[in-house]
């Protein structure tokens, strides 16, 4: 519930759009109910008047019928436009809000949520929140408002009928959907779990078909998949056996409400408390009123999903950033020598130390290399220097200024980083380069690409600098992507260079190209390079070995 309130607070700036959409939904439902009820009243009144010879004023109801028909269709169109407009406005607001909260957490806090899983989950959850208004809020609030009006109107004729209508509406719109959900919860969860197993199975097959064939496990895997598919259908069948009767019962509730309304109204007509035309009007009105609750089963179902999504999104957002920015940030340093004194850090307050008593001094323009096994703490050191993670003990100074006194952005602003996982955005090469220096001229871009030894290759692409790269764009080889990242580093022109296994995963020839580019880049810059490659270590002055969080100068 608190999650829902938090979401609603986010929606506040768009309240007018949201309310307009809901208002229009109410108008549409009422116009629809009114249309059938008025039509029933009208023809009964016309028939009775025809039979009795009494003249009636028929222009108003006839015009009313036409007006309601137009109101209903036009209103429906307007409602759909307004609710979608509201949804899209919310979507924009949600994304910006989410991004702004995520930004201070990256990358430190996000490392808990591993890789693709985090992204696909965020994607699904944000999509689910996008639908909150359209699928949940608008129909629920509109139904609540409409039910009030409908019951109040009926009460003007008979309180009993109004109460029966209300009971039917609550039964069909609230009680039945909730009961159905409760009954189907178990098989629903099962279906979700089986689907996940099936997905894992098919993914395994796609990735490991070769091994399945070589190790003669393909028939077994086929059987597993077929069995999972059958089990999925079994659990879905249970859901269908609940949903089908529930739909039947919802219809029955509406019909019974109308039947009971008739039984109550008929004696009233006989007594003269109600007029003849009132009878068909009441019958059709009660039956029509159930249109208000028709979207509620789907809304209730979506509500559960949406709240779960909101909870996950909030749990990410509510994480404290690891680093508190200084209240009074110092001026950016003017020298770029790096001094680390007795530095220790760990990721959790009671976890093992990832770095212990590190001492390291690099003069401006100095270059050091760090080698060490996976998990020895090399990447932790870089995370600390880049102010992605906090450190608990010791100090780091840059040109004599403590990193704790500098804004994280300032520190990162003087560092160019080339990491193993180079992220190229899903856009043109040009836009990827502009990231490092917005407004760079064409000549500057060419220069950077030339120095990174990739200019000729970029020219050979048919779209040149406008080639789209990244997931949906052109596939670059590992070496090409790495060199574009180097070009970015050239453009950034930062005094400090941080290289995290810059040639890992490249073949010998690509490695040679990348190293040649790096050699130029390192000229005059303070450099820290993590690598296993002896060839790369030739480029540095001193080599350190990292072992279980401790740093030692290499003898060699």
Partner 1 sequence: MANAPRSRAEAKSLEAWLRGFTARVRIPLTATIITGAIGGVLLVLQAWLLARIIDGVIIEHRALHQVWPLLIDLLATFIARAIITALTDIIGFEAAARVKRDIRRLAYAHLTALGPAWSRRERSGDLATTLIDGIEALDQYYASYLPQMALAVFIPLAILVFVFPAYWVAGIIMVITAPLIPLFMIIVGKGAERLNQRQWRKLARMSAYFFDAIEGLTTLKLFGASRAEAQMIADVSDDYRITTMAVLRVAFLSSLVLEFFATISIAMVAVYIGFALYYRDLHFLPGFFVLLLAPEFYRPLRNMGSSYHARMEAIGAAEQIVRLLATEPPASLPAPTPAPEPALTIRFEQVDFAYQPSEPILTGIDFTLAPGERLALVGPSGAGKTTISQLLLGFLHPSGGAIRIGGTDLRDLPPAAWLARIAWLPQRPTLFHGSVIDNIRLGLTADAAAVRAAAAQAGADHFITNLPQGYDTIVGERGQGLSGGEIQRIALARAFLKNAELIVLDEPDASLDPATAALITASVERLARDRTMLIIAHRLESVRHADRILVIDHGRIIESGDHASLLARHGLYATMSALRQDVPA
Q: Tell me which residues in 253-282 interact with partner 1 (CB under 8 A).
A: 255-256, 259, 262-263, 266-267, 269-270, 276-277, 279-280
For partner 1, the closer CB: 70 or 159: 70
Tell the smallest beta-carbon distance from residue 446 to partner 1 (Å).
20
**196 forms part of the interface with partner 1 (CB under 8 A):** yes
Minimum distance from residue 177 beta carbon to partner 1 (Å): 15
SS3 395: strand
Residues of span 369-398 touching partner 1 by CB under 8 A: 373-374, 386, 388
- Shortest Cβ 1–partner 1 spacing (Å): 28
Contact 476, 488 (CB under 8 A): no
- Which of 2-10, 164-172, 196-204, 393-401 is the region at the interface with partner 1 (rule: CB under 8 A)? 196-204
Contact 450, 412 (CB under 8 A): no
3-state class (DSSP) for residue 345: strand
Name which position in 217, 227, 298, 308 contacts partner 1 (CB under 8 A).
217
Convert residues 41-60 into a mask of x (bound to partner 1 by CB under 8 A) and - (unbound).
-xxx-xxxxxx------x--
Residue 186 or residue 425: which is nearer to partner 1 going by CB? 425
Q: Is the distance from CB of 353 to CB of 344 less than 8 angstroms?
A: yes
Burial readout 477-501 (b: 16 or more C-beta within 10 A, e: otherwise): ebbbbbbbbbbbbbbbebbbbbbbb
| Residue among 535, 541, 552, 554 that touches partner 1 (CB under 8 A) | 535
Asked whether position 534 contacts partner 1 by CB under 8 A, the answer is: yes
DSSP 538-554: TT-SEEEEEETTEEEE-
Cα dihedral 275, 279, 280, 281 in deg (nearest 10): 70
Of residues 152 and 226, the one with the C-beta less far from partner 1? 226
CA distance 44 to 50: 10
Closest distance of CB 465 from partner 1, Å: 18
Tell whether residue 151 is a contact of partner 1 (CB under 8 A): no
Check binding of 220 to partner 1 (CB under 8 A): yes
Q: Is 409 a residue that touches partner 1 (CB under 8 A)? A: yes
Q: Does 106 bind partner 1 (CB under 8 A)?
A: yes
Residues 6+ apart with CB under 8 A from 98: 122, 126, 313, 317
- How many Å apart are CA 359 and CA 340, to the nearest integer? 5
Of residues 1 and 270, the one with the C-beta less far from partner 1: 270
Task: Name residues whose C-beta falls within 8 Å of residue 529's C-beta, 6 or more positions apart in sequence.
Answer: 367, 368, 369, 370, 497, 499, 502, 536, 537, 539, 540
Examine residue 337 and tell whether it contacts partner 1 (CB under 8 A). no
- Can residue 510 be called a binding residue for partner 1 (CB under 8 A)? yes
Q: Which of 5, 327, 443, 508 binds partner 1 (CB under 8 A)?
A: 508
d(CA 285, CA 254): 11
User: Of 4 and 126, which has the nearer Cβ to partner 1?
Assistant: 126
**Given candidates 8, 81, 324, 463, which one binds partner 1 under the rule CB under 8 A?**
81
**Among positions 119, 361, 463, 520, the unique one binding partner 1 when judged by CB under 8 A:** 119
Q: Which of 8, 189, 244, 361 binds partner 1 (CB under 8 A)?
A: 244
Strands 401-402 and 415-418: unpaired
- The residues, any chain, with a CB within 8 Å of residue 242's CB and separated by 6 or more, are 180, 183, 184, 187
Q: Which residue of 185, 189, 237, 335 would you call a contact of partner 1, by CB under 8 A? A: 237
Using the rule CB under 8 A, is 243 a contact of partner 1? yes
């Amino acid at each position: 519930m608190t999650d829902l309130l938090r979401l609603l607070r986010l929606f506040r700036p768009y309240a007018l759009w949201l309310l307009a959409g809901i208002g229009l939904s109410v108008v549409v439902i009422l116009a629809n109910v009114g249309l059938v009820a008025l039509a029933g009243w009208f023809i009964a009144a016309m028939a009775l008047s025809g039979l009795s010879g009494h003249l009636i004023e028929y222009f108003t109801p006839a015009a009313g019928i036409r007006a309601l028909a137009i109101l209903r269709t036009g209103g429906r169109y307007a409602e759909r436009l307004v609710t979608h407009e509201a949804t899209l406005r919310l979507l924009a607001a949600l994304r910006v809000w989410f991004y702004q909260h995520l930004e201070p957490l990256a990358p430190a806090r996000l490392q808990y949520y591993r890789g693709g899983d985090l992204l696909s989950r965020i994607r699904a959850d944000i999509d689910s929140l996008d639908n909150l208004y359209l699928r949940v809020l608008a129909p629920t609030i509109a139904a609540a408002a409409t039910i009030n009006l409908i019951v109040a109107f009926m009460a003007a004729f008979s309180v009993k009928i109004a109460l029966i209508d209300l009971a039917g509406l609550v039964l069909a719109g609230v009680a039945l959907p909730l009961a159905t959900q409760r009954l189907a919860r178990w098989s629903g969860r099962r279906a979700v779990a089986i689907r996940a197993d099936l997905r894992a199975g098919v993914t395994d097959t796609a990735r490991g078909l070769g091994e399945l064939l070589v190790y003669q496990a393909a028939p077994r895997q086929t059987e597993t998949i077929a069995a999972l598919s059958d089990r999925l259908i079994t659990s879905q069948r249970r859901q269908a056996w609940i949903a089908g009767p529930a739909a039947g019962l919802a219809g029955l509730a509406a019909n019974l409400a109308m039947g009971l309304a008739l039984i109550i109204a008929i004696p009233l007509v006989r007594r003269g408390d109600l007029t003849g035309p009132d009878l068909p009007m009441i019958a059709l009105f009660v039956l029509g009123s159930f249109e208000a609750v028709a979207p509620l089963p789907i809304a209730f179902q979506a509500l559960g999903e949406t709240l779960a999504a909101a909870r996950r999104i909030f749990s990410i957002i509510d994480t404290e950033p690891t680093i508190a920015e200084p209240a009074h940030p110092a001026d950016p340093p003017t020298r770029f020598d790096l001094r680390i004194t007795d530095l220790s850090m760990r990721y959790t307050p009671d976890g093992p130390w990832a770095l212990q008593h590190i001492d390291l001094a690099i003069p401006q323009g100095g270059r050091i290399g760090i080698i060490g096994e996976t998990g020895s703490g090399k990447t932790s050191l870089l995370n600390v220097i880049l102010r992605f993670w906090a450190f608990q003990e010791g100090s780091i100074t840059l040109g004599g200024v403590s990193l704790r006194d500098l804004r994280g952005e300032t520190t990162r602003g003087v560092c160019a980083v080339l990491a193993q996982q180079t992220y190229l955005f899903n856009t043109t090469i040009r836009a990827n380069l502009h990231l490092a220096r917005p407004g760079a001229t064409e000549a500057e871009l060419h220069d950077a690409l030339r120095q990174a030894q990739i200019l000729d290759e970029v020219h050979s692409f048919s779209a040149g600098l406008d080639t789209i790269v990244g997931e949906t764009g052109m596939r670059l080889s590992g070496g090409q992507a790495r060199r574009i990242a180097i070009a970015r580093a050239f453009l950034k022109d930062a005094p400090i260079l941080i290289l995290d296994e810059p040639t890992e995963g490249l073949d010998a020839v690509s490695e040679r190209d990348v190293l040649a580019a790096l050699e130029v880049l390192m000229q005059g810059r303070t450099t820290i390079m993590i690598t296993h490659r002896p060839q790369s270590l030739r480029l540095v002055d001193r080599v350190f070995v990292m072992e279980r969080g401790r740093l030692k100068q290499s003898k060699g």
